[in-house]
Amino acid sequence: MGLLKYLDKDLNDFESRANNVVIVCAGDSITGYNNSREKEIQRITVLTYPQFLADELKENNIADCGIAGQFSRYALSDVRLYLDNFKNSTHFVIGYGTNDLATKVPSEIILGNMKTIIQNLLEREKTPLVLNVPYANKSNFSTNGLDRIKKQRDYHNQGLANLCKERNVQMIDICSLLGDSHFTDAIHPDIIGAKLIAKEVAKYLK
């Protein structure tokens, strides 16, 4: 069936294809660009990790539900929609927090939102796989700005690791995986970076 994008939810065959989805990838633009509310970005072809995850797994039962610019507070309702749309899914790969941190949303609030999302998934008997927040590309920031971002990410990712341990779910460390050469700009992985994420995520789905 190919990769199913949430952007195509208004197409006639969406529901029948959604019934075959096993793995749901939900997150911000590191995951995908399914922005129904922003026409200028709707049909942009951007290669993100879900597109390579199918190759890694030799499977086509994957849904890309990434939304560029998304915040964890909005993801609370998004994930509930995905649960209703993809009833036969077994795994949710979730990655939120990059946009929150960029706008100085306190880590404790983001973690609270992530805790609720994880709980909702567990209650519906789905297996969450949680992506942490990657560092930024050093070439795009001053030394002072970079130090602040690194401390911010380290603090948040440690809290996320603690949350995942507490809830007995897997956190996937893409922060340590990606280097400066794996970004197209300050925060978005390039094709090689997306493939690295896909390969790492696939380890927990085989």
Query: In angstroms, how far is CA 192 from the centroid of its own chain?
Result: 17
Question: Percent of the chain at pLDDT above 90?
Answer: 75
SS3 category, 27: strand
Average pLDDT over residues 74-103: 97
Show the beta-strand stretches assigned E in the chain.
Answer: 4-5, 23-27, 62-66, 91-95, 127-131, 170-172
> Domain 4-202 maps to which CATH number in 3.40.50.1110, 3.30.70.360, 3.10.20.600, 3.40.50.10190?
3.40.50.1110
Average pLDDT over residues 42-66: 84
The pTM score is 0.92
